[in-house]
Structure 1
Amino acid sequence: MKDWAGVGEAYSASYAALCAGTLPVMSAMLGPAVGRDLVDVGSGDGTLAAAWAEQGWSVTACEPEETMRSESLRRHPHIQTVAGRLPSLPFDDEDFDVAVANFVLNHVDSPRSAAAELRRVSRGAVIASIWTRSPSWLWAEVTERAGVVPLAGGRLAPEEEFERTPEGFERMLREAGLAALDVAEHTWVWKADPGALWTSVEGGVAGAGALYASLGAADRERFRHAFDTVAAERVIDDLLPLEHSAAIAVSAAR
């Protein structure tokens, strides 16, 4: 799986805003926040955790990566942020009304064990999302234009793999022990700053960042030129309108 070590600042400047695009659908699925608490697992730089808090949730942010936690504490000091990694979270059984994992189960080695752990720490609902159309489609085009060899993606063990569709996500969660699931697919357009996207690459974020870090100087130059070309073809009013989709699933309370 991808190595997220050291990317907190670059992630916060780029993809944090994209990943928060699931908030409206998640909020509608969970209902009113009044009097309820929530743990945001894999909370990154705290962007989504802070948004939950603004809605009235009592929020605990839980994130394994040190630089992500540092960004969260710097940007959102009012949010309690703790170290913790799936599938073994530092909480008691049924500690929270809701457990959230936004674009987390697609980054762990054992999605079913991770989902079962979310179920364990929640006395109410579990809500989670995965990409059905991730940012990788843009970088695949840039990689092809640059004429560089893409990195081989990390693969789950065959018994851990699942189909990245709403139906496949639902099946995997049921196998993990979650019941009474409501699953929706959410598509939205992220208007990205090209400069922020390039920051993510130089900062080592996700697959594109890992690929760039592996390249020699000449290939890096070709990759940057290809990115600038693709961005120039798509930009509208200085921003890149990029379509993404996610499957979002919520389980009923116990």
Structure 2
Amino acid sequence: MKDWAGVGEAYSASYAALCAGTLPAMQRALGAPHGRSLLDVGAGDGRLAAAWADAGWRVQACEPEASMRAVAHRDRPQVDMIDAGLPDLPFPDGAVDVVVANFVLNHVDSPRRSAAELRRVSRGAVVATIWTLSPSWLWADVAERAGVAPLVGVKLPADEDFERTPDGFARMLRDAGLERPVVAERRWTWNADPNRLWRSVEGGVADAGALYTALASDERRRFRAAFEAVADERGVDGFLPLEHRAAVAVNLLP
């Protein structure tokens, strides 16, 4: 799956704001904290863990990538962040009231095993999200304009993969032992700062960053020019409005 090593700073400056777009839907699904505990798995730069804590939850967070944890420790020292990640979490069964994994199950090698692990450590709800329309469509357009071959991501084996739709996500979660996942699709527009978005590319974040890193110098110049052309064409008041969709799953105890 994707290599996130060393991208913490670039991710925090760019896509972390996009990934926070699911927070309102997750908060509505879970309601008021009422003193409950919450574990944020794959917490990245700690942005959402801090938001959950500010809303009144008793929060723990875990993240396996050192550069992400470094950003979290620096910018959000109030977040209790440890070095851990799926598919094996260092928590006992039923350790917390709620487990949240925001855009994590779409990046692991074994989604069903990982989802089962989320279920194991929660004595209450499990909330998880995946992309149904990710930023990859933008970078495919940029690559085509630049005349470079788009990066073909590594696919999971057929017995591990699942359909990236709300229904497909729900089926995968049921396969993993989550009893009654309710999945809804959230749509929103992210008004991206083009300069920050380009920083994600130069910082090696996600498929676009991996593609750019592998390009020759002339290809990089064409890719940058193509991105600037797209930003000029689509930009509104200095921002790049980009439509995104995510499946938000909530599984409550029966």
Name the TM-score, length of structure 2 as normaliser: 0.99
Counterpart-to-counterpart distance in 1, 2:248 and 2:194: 27
CA-CA distance at 1:12 after TM superposition: 0.2
Percent of aligned pairs with the same amino acid: 65
Counterpart-to-counterpart distance in 1, 2:184 and 2:38: 21
Counterpart-to-counterpart distance in 1, 2:37 and 2:99: 9
| Per-residue Cα deviation, 1:183-229 (whole angstroms, up to 9, x for no partner) | 11000010000000000000000000000000010000000000000
CA-CA distance at 1:179 after TM superposition: 1.1
- Give aligned pairs, total: 254
Q: Residue 97 in 1 paired to residue 105 in 2?
A: no
- The corresponding residue for 2:43 is 43
- The corresponding residue for 1:122 is 122
CA-CA distance at 1:182 after TM superposition: 1.3
Counterpart-to-counterpart distance in 2, 1:63 and 1:21: 19
Counterpart-to-counterpart distance in 1, 2:216 and 2:235: 28
Q: Is the 8 A contact 2:133 2:245 kept in 1?
A: yes
CA-CA distance at 1:34 after TM superposition: 2.0
Q: Residue 113 in 1 paired to residue 113 in 2?
A: yes
Counterpart-to-counterpart distance in 1, 2:132 and 2:181: 18
Counterpart-to-counterpart distance in 1, 2:232 and 2:43: 32
CA-CA distance at 1:173 after TM superposition: 0.2
CA-CA distance at 1:53 after TM superposition: 0.8
Counterpart-to-counterpart distance in 2, 1:184 and 1:29: 10
Query: Matched residue of 1:164: which SS?
Result: coil
Counterpart-to-counterpart distance in 2, 1:245 and 1:150: 21
| Per-residue Cα deviation, 1:5-27 (whole angstroms, up to 9, x for no partner) | 00000000000000000001000
Name the TM-score, length of structure 1 as normaliser: 0.99
Counterpart-to-counterpart distance in 1, 2:250 and 2:133: 19
Kindly provide the amino acid, as one letter, of the partner of residue 25 in structure 1.
Answer: A
CA-CA distance at 1:253 after TM superposition: 2.3
After TM superposition, what 4+ stretches of structure 1 lie above 3 angstroms from structure 2?
Answer: none
- The corresponding residue for 1:142 is 142
Higher alpha-carbon deviation: 217-226 or 30-39: 30-39
CA-CA distance at 1:102 after TM superposition: 0.3
CA-CA distance at 1:54 after TM superposition: 1.0
- Residues 7-22 of structure 1: matches in 2 within 5 Å? 7-22=7-22
Kindly provide the amino acid, as one letter, of the partner of residue 219 in structure 1.
Answer: E
- The corresponding residue for 1:131 is 131
- The corresponding residue for 2:223 is 223
Query: Matched residue of 1:172: which SS?
Result: helix
| Per-residue Cα deviation, 1:65-121 (whole angstroms, up to 9, x for no partner) | 000000011111001000111010111111110010000000000000000000011
CA-CA distance at 1:31 after TM superposition: 1.1
- The corresponding residue for 1:168 is 168
Counterpart-to-counterpart distance in 2, 1:99 and 1:129: 12
Query: Matched residue of 1:168: which SS?
Result: helix
- The corresponding residue for 1:67 is 67
Counterpart-to-counterpart distance in 1, 2:83 and 2:72: 12
Q: Is the 8 A contact 2:179 2:253 kept in 1?
A: no
Counterpart-to-counterpart distance in 2, 1:233 and 1:6: 32
- The corresponding residue for 1:185 is 185
Kindly provide the amino acid, as one letter, of the partner of residue 87 in structure 2.
Answer: P
Kindly provide the amino acid, as one letter, of the partner of residue 169 in structure 2.
Answer: F
Output the aligned Cα RMSD: 0.7
Counterpart-to-counterpart distance in 2, 1:20 and 1:253: 25
Counterpart-to-counterpart distance in 2, 1:182 and 1:163: 16
Q: Is the 8 A contact 2:135 2:244 kept in 1?
A: yes
Q: Residue 244 in 1 paired to residue 241 in 2?
A: no
Kindly provide the amino acid, as one letter, of the partner of residue 248 in structure 2.
Answer: I
- The corresponding residue for 1:207 is 207
Q: Is the 8 A contact 2:93 2:122 kept in 1?
A: yes
| Per-residue Cα deviation, 1:33-57 (whole angstroms, up to 9, x for no partner) | 1210101000000111111111111
Counterpart-to-counterpart distance in 2, 1:249 and 1:150: 30
Gapped regions of structure 1 (runs ≥ 5):
none
